[in-house]
C-alpha cells in the first residue's frame, strides 16, 4: 500500500498539472486555431515531446512487458516496423501538412478534392475518426488504467472505474479550458515524469538481489530462453515461438516489413501522417519546426522509451515465472509494488497517471476538433463567431469524456468490433500517401479505399484465412478497387487541383502544373471552401512566389535519401542503446559507426532539399 509520502507526491502532481493547464486558458481559447492548434506557434521541441507523450499511454509499458514475455525482445518488431512509415511522414509530409493551412486532418479533404463526394467524405471521416474511433481508443486507455488500479491497489472493477473517471474529469476540465497549448505544455511535464519513473523502476528492478544486475539478468535469461535476448526474429520458420523469441514465416515478415507500414491505417501511425501527429505538425510555428518535431518524435518514440520497459519485462521472467499468459502484462505492476520504496512508489504511479493524462487530453482535444470544425462549423453553423465556437468546443470535449466512460464499461462487447475495424484499415494507406503526390487521386479513390478493406476482411473470414494471408489479400483487393474507381470517376476539378498545388507546392506527378496566381473570381469551388479561400487570399503565401510561372525542381530523390538514412540512423540508435545496456561492446562499436555514417548522409542531403523552405 501507499505511504503518506506517496499520496503527497500523487496529489501534488495532479494539482500541478491542472493548475498549469488552467493557466493557459486565455491564450488557448482565442479562436479555433488557438484552441485546437495552439495558435500554430509551437516550437519543434514542444510539439515533438507532445507527440511522444501522447503515444505513451498507461497501457504502453504493460503491453511491451506482455510482448517481451511472449516473444522476447524481438517481439517488439510488431511495432518497431512502423518506424519506416513514421520517417516517411517526417520527410515527405510534415512540411506539406504545415503548408496546407488546414485546421484538421479531414479539412484537407475539401482542400484536395472537390464536389459532393469531398463534402460527404469530410463529414463521414469527422464522425468516424473524431467520435467512433476516438472513444474506442480512449476506452482502451481507460481499461489499462483500470487494470493498473485493480492490480496495484486491489480495487474491484467499479472502484477502479470510478477513480479512472475522476482522473478523466480532471483532464477534461483543463483540456477544455486551455486547448492544445495547455495540453502541449502539460505533455512536456508528463513525459519527463513518466520516462524518469520508468527508468528508475528499471534500474532498481535489474539491480535487486534476485536479478543481480545486467550480468545476472543475461545469465538467468540464458538458462530460461537463450533466444529471448535476440534483437531480431527468426525468419523463415513456422509461425509461433522459437524458444521465447519471435518466429515469423517469410509471408509474415514481408507483411510486417514490406507492406504494413505503407498499406495500413491505424491510429497514431497513419501513412502520410494523420490524427494527433498531423495536429502537432500543423501546430508547429514553421515548416522547419514541423519537420524537426516529427523527426524528434520518431527517435524518442523508438529509441528512448522502450528499453526501461523491455528490461522490466525480461526481469519478470525471473521474478514471476508462474504468471499465466493472460497475466504477463501484470508483471510490470507487480514489480512496481514489490520493489519500490515509499516515495518512489508514488512517483511511479504518478508516471502512469502522467502517461494516462497526456493521452486522454490529446484524444479529447483532437476528437473535438473534428466534430466542431468539420461538422458543426462546416455543416451546421458556418457563420458562428469565435466565442460560440470555443463554447461548443468545450462542451464537445466534456461530451466526449462522458461517452468514452460509457464505452469503457462496454469494452467486452466492443473488443471484437475494434479488432475488426483495425484490420479493415488494410490498403487505405497508399491512397493517403499518393493524394499528396498524384493529381489523379480523387475523393472516390479515398471513399473506395475506405470501404474495400471491409469486403476483403469479410471474404478472408469466410475462406478461413488469417494473418498474413488475410492481410495481404485485403491490401491487394483494396488497391485494385481504388485504382479502378480512380480511373472510371471524374478527376478533381482543375480549379481545386491548381489551388491545392499553389498552396502546398508538392513534388510528384501534377501534370506539369506551375505555381501561379489564380484570381479569386476565377476559382469556382463552391460554398465548401469560400471561407478557406478568403483566408488564403488574404495572405501573401499565394502571391509572393519567387518562382511564379515555373515548376520547382523535383525534390523526391533527396527526400528519399533522407528517409532511408534516417531509418538506418534511428534503428542504429535503438540497437546501439540495447548493446550498451547488455555490455556487448564489439557490436556497440559497429553500430556507432553505422549511426555516425547515416547521420552524416542525412545531414548532407537534408541541406539539398527544399524541406526547410523553397
Give pLDDT tens digits for 499-519: 999 999 888 888 766 655 444
Our measurement of the distance from residue 117's CA atom to the centroid of its chain's CA atoms, rounded to an integer in Å, reads 27
Distance CA 73, CA 574 (A): 12
**Residue 376 DSSP one-character state:** I
Sheet containing strand 234-235, edge to edge, reads: 234-235, 245-248, 240-242
- Report the relative pairing of strands 245-248 and 234-235 from DSSP bridges: parallel
What mean pLDDT is predicted for residues 305-329? Answer: 89
Phi first, then psi: what are they for 523, rounded to 5°? -100, 100
What is the average per-residue pLDDT within 435-458? 93
Q: Do residues 34 and 28 touch, judged by C-beta distance below 8 A? A: yes
Please, are residues 44 and 299 in contact by the beta-carbon 8 Å criterion? Answer: no
Whether domain 1-24+53-251+297-411 has CATH 1.10.3720.10: no
**DSSP symbol at 436:** T
What's the CA gap between 50 and 39, in Å, rounded? 15
Q: Is the pLDDT of residue 99 over 90?
A: yes
Q: 574, 569, 576: which is closest to 590 by C-alpha?
A: 576
* pLDDT of 564 higher than 70: yes
> What angle (nearest 5°) sits at the alpha carbon of residue 30, between those of residues 29 and 32?
75
What stretches of 306-378 adopt beta strand conformation (E)? none
Cell of 516: 501561379
Which pLDDT does position 246 carry in this prediction? Answer: 64
Average pLDDT over residues 395-410: 91
Mean pLDDT of the chain: 85
The phi-psi region of residue 450 (left if phi > 0; otherwise alpha if psi is between -120 and 50; otherwise beta) is: alpha
Rounded Cα–Cα distance for residues 273 and 222 (Å): 41
Stretch 239-261: mean pLDDT, rounded? 69
- What element of type H or E holds 245? strand 245-248
Residue whose C-alpha cell is 475494434? 418
Would the pLDDT of 407 be above 70?
yes
Helix 44-55 / helix 287-299 crossing angle, nearest 10 deg: 40
How would residue 378 be classed by pLDDT, with cut points 50, 70 and 90? very high
Q: How far is the C-alpha of 327 from the C-alpha of 332, rounded, in Å?
A: 10
Helices (H), 256-323: 261-263, 275-283, 287-299, 306-319
Task: Please give the average per-residue pLDDT across 303-315, as a whole number.
Answer: 93
Which three cell numbers, joined as nine digits, stand for 260?
A: 504494413
Looking at residue 419, its pLDDT comes to: 60
pLDDT in tens, 533-546: 444 444 444 433 33
pLDDT at residue 416 greater than cutoff 70: no
C-alpha cell at 9: 507526491
Nearest CA among 278, 263, 314, 330 for reference residue 105? 278
- How many residues in the chain? 614
pLDDT one-digit tens code per residue, 194-219: 888 889 999 999 999 999 999 999 99
Provide mean pLDDT across the span 369-398: 94
Q: Where are the domains of the chain?
A: 1-24+53-251+297-411, 555-614
Q: What share of the chain is helix, strand, coil (3-state, %, to 5)?
A: 75, 0, 25
- The model's pLDDT over 266-299, given as tens digits with 9 standing for 90+, comes to 776 788 888 889 999 999 999 999 999 999 999 9
The number of helices, as runs of H, and strands, as runs of E, in the chain is: 28, 3
146's grid cell: 483500470
The torsion angles phi and psi of 426, rounded to 5 degrees, stand at: -65, 125
Q: Widest CA span of the chain, in angstroms?
A: 77
Strand spans (E) along 113-244: 234-235, 240-242
Amino acid at each position: 500500500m501507499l505511504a503518506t509520502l506517496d499520496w503527497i507526491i500523487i496529489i501534488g502532481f495532479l494539482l500541478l498539472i491542472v493548475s498549469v493547464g488552467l493557466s493557459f486558458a486565455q491564450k488557448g481559447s482565442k479562436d479555433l486555431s488557438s484552441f485546437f492548434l495552439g495558435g500554430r506557434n509551437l516550437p519543434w521541441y514542444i510539439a515533438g515531446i507532445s507527440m511522444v507523450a501522447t503515444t505513451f499511454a498507461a497501457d504502453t509499458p504493460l503491453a511491451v512487458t506482455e510482448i517481451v514475455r511472449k516473444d522476447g525482445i524481438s517481439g517488439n518488431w510488431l511495432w518497431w516496423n512502423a518506424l519506416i512509415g513514421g520517417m516517411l511522414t517526417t520527410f515527405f509530409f510534415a512540411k506539406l501538412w504545415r503548408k496546407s493551412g488546414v485546421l484538421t486532418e479531414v479539412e484537407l479533404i475539401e482542400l484536395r478534392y472537390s464536389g459532393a463526394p469531398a463534402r460527404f467524405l469530410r463529414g463521414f471521416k469527422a464522425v468516424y475518426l473524431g467520435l467512433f474511433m476516438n472513444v474506442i481508443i480512449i476506452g482502451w486507455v481507460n481499461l489499462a488504467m483500470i487494470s493498473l488500479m485493480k492490480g496495484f491497489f486491489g480495487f474491484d472493477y467499479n472502484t477502479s472505474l470510478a477513480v479512472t473517471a475522476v482522473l478523466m474529469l480532471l483532464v477534461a476540465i483543463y483540456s477544455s479550458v486551455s486547448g492544445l497549448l495547455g495540453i502541449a505544455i502539460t505533455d512536456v511535464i508528463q513525459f519527463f515524469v513518466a520516462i524518469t519513473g520508468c527508468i528508475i523502476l528499471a534500474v532498481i528492478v535489474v539491480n535487486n538481489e534476485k536479478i543481480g544486475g545486467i550480468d545476472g539478468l543475461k545469465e538467468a535469461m540464458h538458462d530460461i530462453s537463450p533466444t529471448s535476448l535476440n534483437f531480431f526474429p527468426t525468419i523463415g520458420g513456422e509461425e509461433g515461438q522459437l524458444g521465447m523469441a519471435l518466429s515469423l514465416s517469410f509471408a509474415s515478415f514481408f507483411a510486417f516489413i514490406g507492406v504494413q507500414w505503407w498499406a495500413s491505417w491505424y491510429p497514431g501511425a497513419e501513412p502520410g501522417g494523420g490524427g494527433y501527429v498531423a495536429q502537432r505538425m500543423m501546430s508547429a510555428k514553421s515548416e522547419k519546426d514541423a519537420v524537426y518535431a516529427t523527426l524528434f518524435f520518431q527517435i524518442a518514440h523508438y529509441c528512448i522509451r522502450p528499453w526501461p520497459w523491455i528490461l522490466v519485462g525480461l526481469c519478470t521472467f525471473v521474478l514471476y515465472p508462474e504468471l499465466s499468459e493472460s497475466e504477463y502484462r501484470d508483471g510490470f505492476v507487480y514489480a512496481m509494488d514489490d520493489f519500490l520504496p515509499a516515495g518512489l512508489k508514488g512517483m511511479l504511479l504518478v508516471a502512469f497517471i502522467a502517461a494516462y493524462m497526456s493521452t486522454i487530453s490529446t484524444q479529447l482535444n483532437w476528437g473535438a476538433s473534428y466534430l466542431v470544425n468539420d461538422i458543426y462549423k462546416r455543416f451546421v453553423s458556418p457563420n458562428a463567431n469565435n466565442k460560440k465556437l470555443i463554447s461548443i468546443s468545450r462542451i464537445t470535449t466534456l461530451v466526449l469524456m462522458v461517452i468514452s466512460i460509457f464505452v469503457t464499461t462496454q469494452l467486452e462487447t466492443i473488443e471484437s468490433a475494434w479488432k475488426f475495424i483495425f484490420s479493415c484499415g488494410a490498403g487505405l494507406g497508399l491512397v493517403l500517401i499518393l493524394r499528396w503526390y498524384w493529381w489523379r487521386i480523387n475523393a472516390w479513390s479515398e471513399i473506395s479505399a475506405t470501404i474495400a478493406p471491409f469486403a476483403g476482411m469479410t471474404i478472408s473470414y469466410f475462406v478461413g484465412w488469417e494473418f498474413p494471408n488475410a492481410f495481404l489479400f485485403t491490401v491487394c483487393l483494396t488497391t485494385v478497387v481504388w485504382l479502378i474507381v480512380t480511373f472510371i470517376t471524374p478527376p478533381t476539378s482543375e480549379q481545386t487541383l491548381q489551388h491545392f498545388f499553389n498552396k502546398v507546392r508538392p513534388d510528384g506527378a501534377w501534370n506539369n502544373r506551375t505555381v501561379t496566381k489564380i484570381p479569386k473570381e476565377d476559382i469556382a469551388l463552391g460554398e465548401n471552401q469560400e471561407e478557406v479561400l478568403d483566408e488564403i487570399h488574404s495572405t501573401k503565401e499565394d502571391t509572393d512566389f519567387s518562382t511564379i510561372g515555373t515548376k520547382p525542381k523535383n525534390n523526391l530523390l533527396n527526400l528519399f535519401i533522407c528517409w532511408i538514412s534516417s531509418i538506418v540512423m534511428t534503428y542504429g540508435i535503438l540497437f546501439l542503446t540495447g548493446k550498451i545496456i547488455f555490455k556487448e561492446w564489439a557490436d556497440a562499436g559497429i553500430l556507432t559507426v553505422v549511426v555516425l555514417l547515416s547521420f552524416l548522409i542525412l545531414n548532407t542531403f537534408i541541406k539539398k532539399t527544399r524541406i526547410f523552405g523553397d
